[in-house]
């Protein structure tokens, strides 16, 4: 049914536990950036509120300690939607406190247990991502972020009335397109100047309708949606990372966007700027 309705074929599943899954990507990042243990910084774990993530235990601090990041602070951004990663970028970008220190954005959640498997909105995947920002001089810059909240759809789909569901379905495409058009305009870059649009893993039919309406089908990086599915807060960062491995280097403007329940829309413009 998921393939028929949403063209979803598979989702990733991890055999390791929640903490080990996340620590594996932090360890990989520290190996690639050996100067991080000597610096001060901030780790933000962006997550949804789908299940308990052990607030009574100092498991994030334990990860930092084992990875020699003892000088780093750590916090969790727990939102009720899967647009949390780009929402965290929006928060950090407007925070003067962390402007000159590296920020590690950590995402990924466990999906295959009885409570989560009862979700009516689809099948989520397990894929951790650790994204490093502001660590060194780089041609890559997050130059614009935006968040929009459609508060009238605060209920989860399973708790919505039939009328609320109908209203959401009738306006979702319009609201998504309006958000993207408004955000691109506010960023100072035109739609035609965007080299790629990088989505979270929304269902393929919705993405195709959006791309056709906004004339971006050839620039929408949606090839991974069917094979990975929705990854909580990880998918947009994972998609951007995957895209970077395939581009020629001539592309300069990448517009990343995500949508989560609530309904919340978040975006970030990542540009390659000569330094």
**Domain CATH for 23:** 3.40.47.10
Based on the domain organization, do 113 and 151 belong to the same domain?
no
Based on the domain organization, do 25 and 112 belong to the same domain?
yes
Sheet containing strand 42-47, edge to edge, reads: 73-78, 42-47, 103-107, 129-133
Give residue 122's pLDDT. Answer: 59
Half-sphere exposure of 136 (CA within 13 A, CB side): 5
Based on the domain organization, do 257 and 171 belong to the same domain?
yes
Which residues does 116 contact at the CB level (< 8 Å), separation at least 6?
50, 51, 110, 124
Residue ending a domain, among 133, 151, 173, is 133
Total domains in the fold of the chain:
2
Closest by CA position to 240, among listed 89, 57, 111: 89
Give residue 222's pLDDT. Answer: 84
Based on the domain organization, do 145 and 173 belong to the same domain?
yes
Give residue 52's pLDDT. Answer: 54
Based on the domain organization, do 104 and 153 belong to the same domain?
no
Give residue 1's pLDDT. Answer: 56
Q: What is the DSSP letter of 11?
A: -
Query: Mapping DSSP to helix (H, G, I), strand (E, B) and coil, where does residue 163 land?
Result: helix
Spell out the per-residue pLDDT of the chain, length 275, in tens.
566 555 677 777 888 888 899 999 999 999 999 999 999 999 999 988 655 555 667 889 999 999 999 999 998 887 767 888 999 999 888 875 556 789 999 998 887 765 555 555 556 788 999 999 988 777 888 999 999 998 777 777 777 788 877 887 788 899 999 999 999 999 999 999 999 999 998 778 889 999 999 999 999 998 777 778 778 889 999 999 999 888 877 889 999 999 887 789 999 999 988 76
Based on the domain organization, do 120 and 198 belong to the same domain?
no
Residue holding tokens 């100072």?
A: 188
Based on the domain organization, do 97 and 163 belong to the same domain?
no
User: pTM of the entire structure?
Assistant: 0.89
Based on the domain organization, do 92 and 40 belong to the same domain?
yes
Based on the domain organization, do 65 and 163 belong to the same domain?
no
> In the numeric block, which tokens belong to residue 87?
């929402």
- Whether residue 194 contacts residue 184, with contact meaning beta carbons closer than 8 Å, is answered with yes
Rounded Cα–Cα distance for residues 18 and 81 (Å): 19
- What is the domain extent for residue 12? 2-133
Rounded Cα–Cα distance for residues 223 and 248 (Å): 17
Give residue 158's pLDDT. Answer: 72
Q: What is the DSSP letter of 182?
A: H
Give residue 15's pLDDT. Answer: 86
Phi, psi of 139 (to 5 degrees): -70, -10
Residue ending a domain, among 133, 158, 192, is 133
The rounded radius of gyration (Å) of the Cα atoms in the chain is 18
């Amino acid at each position: 049914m998921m393939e028929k309705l949403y063209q979803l074929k598979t989702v990733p599943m991890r055999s390791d536990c929640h903490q080990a899954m996340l620590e594996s990507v932090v360890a990989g990042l520290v190996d690639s950036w050996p100067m991080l243990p000597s610096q001060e910084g901030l780790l933000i774990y962006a997550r949804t509120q789908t299940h308990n993530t052990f607030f009574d235990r100092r498991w994030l601090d334990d990860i930092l300690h084992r990875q020699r990041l003892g000088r780093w602070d750590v916090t969790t951004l727990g939102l009720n939607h899967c647009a949390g990663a780009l929402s965290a970028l929006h928060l950090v970008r407007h925070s003067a406190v962390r402007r000159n220190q590296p920020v590690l954005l950590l995402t990924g959640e466990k999906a295959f247990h009885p409570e989560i498997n009862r979700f009516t909105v689809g099948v989520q995947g397990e894929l951790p991502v650790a994204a490093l920002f502001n660590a060194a001089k780089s041609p890559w810059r997050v130059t614009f972020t935006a968040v929009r909240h459609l508060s009238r759809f605060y209920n989860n789909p399973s708790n919505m009335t039939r009328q609320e569901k109908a209203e959401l379905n009738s306006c979702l495409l319009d609201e998504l397109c309006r958000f993207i058009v408004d955000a691109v305009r506010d960023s100072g870059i035109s739609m035609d100047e965007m080299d790629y649009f990088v989505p979270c893993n929304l269902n393929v039919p919705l993405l195709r309708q959006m791309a056709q309406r906004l004339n971006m089908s050839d620039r929408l990086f949606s090839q991974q949606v069917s094979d990975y599915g929705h990854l909580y807060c990880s998918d947009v960062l994972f998609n951007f990372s995957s895209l970077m491995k395939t581009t020629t280097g001539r592309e300069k403007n990448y517009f990343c966007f995500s949508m989560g329940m609530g309904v919340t829309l978040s975006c970030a413009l990542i540009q390659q700027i000569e330094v």
